[in-house]
Amino acid sequence: MATLSDLSLKDRLWYHRYRFRRVEPLPWQAQGPAVERCKVATVTTAGLHLPDDPPFEKVKGGDYSYRMVPLDAPLTSLVCSHPSGAWDRSGVEADRNLALPLDRLRSLAEAGEIGEVAPRHVSFQGSITAPLRLVKQTAPEVADALIHDGVDVVLLTPV
């Protein structure tokens, strides 16, 4: 488990000053099928995307855009353009399953432990310090796209 002391001094100072936005009361979807019948998608903030997609940008407030990753994309072809130096990307670069565990979800689906793997998965970059357009625009857009795909459960993998 990482702790605050793992962050650089600059990132620690930011953390102590930053006022995190959250939704109150906490939304909680109580109903849903058993996991063996669920269609599962992954949403990561590792900034992974297809090689032909535009990279995430280092902009003030953070890049609130997202990239869709089709299930049939070769995982090893995905590139990481997350601009933050606050995390060690060597693991994700060695094995994309650390952020988008699509190989593992496929195996779990084949074994009947989850219902199905969704046709599309999603990548954001983290470090979005001004999240208004994420909240108003891109997060709802992504949720609607996943609902369109029939997704029941989203696995979130922040880095």
Which residues are near another protein by CB under 8 A? 1-4, 6, 15, 20-23, 25-30, 32, 35, 38, 43, 45-46, 86-92, 94-95, 97-99, 101, 103-105, 107-108, 113-114, 124, 126, 131, 134-135, 139-140, 142-144, 146-147, 151-159
Q: How far is the CB of 38 from another protein (least distance, A)?
A: 8
Q: How far is the CB of 101 from another protein (least distance, A)?
A: 6
Rg for the chain, CA atoms, rounded: 16
Q: How far is the CB of 78 from another protein (least distance, A)?
A: 14
Q: How far is the CB of 105 from another protein (least distance, A)?
A: 7
Which of 73, 92 has the CB closer to another protein?
A: 92
Rounded CA-CA distance 121/118 in Å is 7
Which of 57, 149 has the CB closer to another protein?
A: 149
Structure tokens that stand for 56 in this block = 């995430």
- Peptide bond before 25: cis, by omega within 30 degrees of 0? yes
Largest CA distance in the chain: 46
Count CB neighbours of 48 within 10 A: 29
Helix (H) or strand (E) holding 87: none
Rounded CA-CA distance 108/79 in Å is 25
How is residue 31 annotated by DSSP? Answer: -
Helix (H) or strand (E) holding 110: helix 102-110
Which of 59, 135 has the CB closer to another protein?
A: 135
Which of 20, 72 has the CB closer to another protein?
A: 20
Q: How far is the CB of 155 from another protein (least distance, A)?
A: 6
Which of 29, 52 has the CB closer to another protein?
A: 29
